[in-house]
Amino acid sequence: MSESARTRIQREKIRCDACPVMCYIADGRSGACDRYANHGGQLVRLDPLTILQKRNEEGGELVRFLDSDAETSEPWDGSIVQPEHSFVTAIGAGTTYPDYKPAPFIVGSVVDGVDMVTVVTEGIFSYCGAKLKIDTDRHLGEECSTVRAAGEAVGHVTTGEYGSQMLSLGGVHHLTGGSKKEGRISCETLLNLCNGEAVELSIDGGSTIVVQAGAAPIIDGVTEERMRVGCGSATVGMFASQWQGLVDEVVVVDDHITGVVSEHQAGKVLDWLPSGIKINGRKSTPGRYFQVAEPGTGWGGTNLTDPLTIVGDFKPDIARPGMSLLMVSTTGEQFAYYELDQQLQPTPLPIPDRLLPSIERIEQNCEPALCSVVFMGGAGGSLRAGVTTNPVQLTRSVKQALTHVTCGGAPTYVWPGGGITVMSDVSVMPSNAFGSVPTPALVAPIEFTVRGDDYESMGGHVGHIIPLDDVVSGSTGAQNDHKMTGQRTVEPHPDIRWPMDEKSNR
């Protein structure tokens, strides 16, 4: 193709500068990200701008209609949303890229008589990932083992926490430091997880799991039902008094800390008689044993199918025939009852009715097993230039708690130290809050809310502030060179507080 022909074709297209790919988009087509399109020569943002609408204090609907039977009711003025109860999120807002220009929406409002500014932008995050908390007793894989999606490395197993296994996915090295396919699959995995979709992951040397925010994990084809009530030692501490007088010994089997009630401090306080039991494991403090078995998918997160494997010979000068033994896991899913025979060997018997309520109590105290997905991203770099002409001032303002950071209106945790590194629970964000670009990078909503005087003092783009009323009414669009395709109004998740609450009072 000649240079003149190539130039002519390019002139018939629009060049989108919303990300580094810089697509040429033909009329009626969208770019590689499926977020921007060419509509009659106009660059259009395909996803609607998302606005949170606060329910009224009486818990009514978003729009209050006239009630002819209520004299105090006010007639509906025809508006879909009420600006004073609205929060403009970054979802569908567009980006600052290339970051010489102000953010797409810099919204001015008045809260409790105080001038407030909310700077709204969709950040393009190469430095981002997802932290997964998977409630399970089961061993998923060795720490630091590679986690894969569609055969590509997308993360690793990290430290186990109380009743949960943790995975770290994404990050700049998987997105940009490996093969092109690794980057693409990593980005796709993050996008699906952050948007609440189910994703299948495999762990090298471990399990295959299906994870989805807010849903129970499926581990090697089995849906997990509950997370542990505590470690074996904690379970003994919680329920020792409920076993007293009903059984001579209780062992709570656990991958991490197996508890033995007669030796445990809880048993000592209750004057529990010694049983002469011997546990095959590394003794820690009295009644607490480490490394009784290898990790696995059996009893208490061990590889045990027969719990008696960890029980040695009873001491004949303490134990006696007929002594009873209850063995139970930390979720109450596995339990077994034994009595010692004349040779002091545990003989399995049906569990007595008197012990069933304690097993049920363990189960009742176990919370439902869920997958939690937390987005984590570094909002540093040039994204800050869309907020202020002096980017470091935004970082300082966030660290001083003068500027409040949200993601799609949802609360964030801002890490200490340099930069603006935030985490946010994706399950409390509006649906489809995330997008992606094929650089590859994740596109995530981020909002900075600050008092008007503080915004001015940090060198904010005060000349680009637009009234909240104008944004909500649709009388003004994004300040960048694209057209909005509309708005959607959603209620905030019931578990989060309103983003503007108390932000005007510091």
- Model pLDDT for residues 245-295, shown as the tens digit of each residue: 999 999 999 999 999 999 999 999 999 999 999 999 999 999 999 999 999
Rg of the chain, C-alpha, whole Å: 29
**CA neighbor of 216 nearest in space, from 159, 133, 155:** 133
- pLDDT greater than 80 at residue 506: no
Is the N-terminal amide bond of 295 cis, ω within 30° of 0? Answer: no
Pairing of strands 249-253, 324-329: parallel
Whether the per-residue pLDDT at 81 is higher than 80: the answer is no
The answer to whether the beta carbons of residues 325 and 340 sit under 8 Å apart is yes
- The pTM for the full model equals 0.85
Counting DSSP H helices and E strands in the chain, the numbers are 9, 33
Q: What per-residue confidence (pLDDT) applies to 475?
A: 66
Determine phi and psi for 402, rounding to 5 degrees.
-85, -30
Output the CA angle 102-107-111, nearest 5 degrees: 145
Is residue 72 scored above 90 in pLDDT? no
- Say yes or no to pLDDT of 59 above 80: no
Backbone angles phi, psi at 360, to 5 degrees: -65, -35
- Length of the chain, in residues: 506
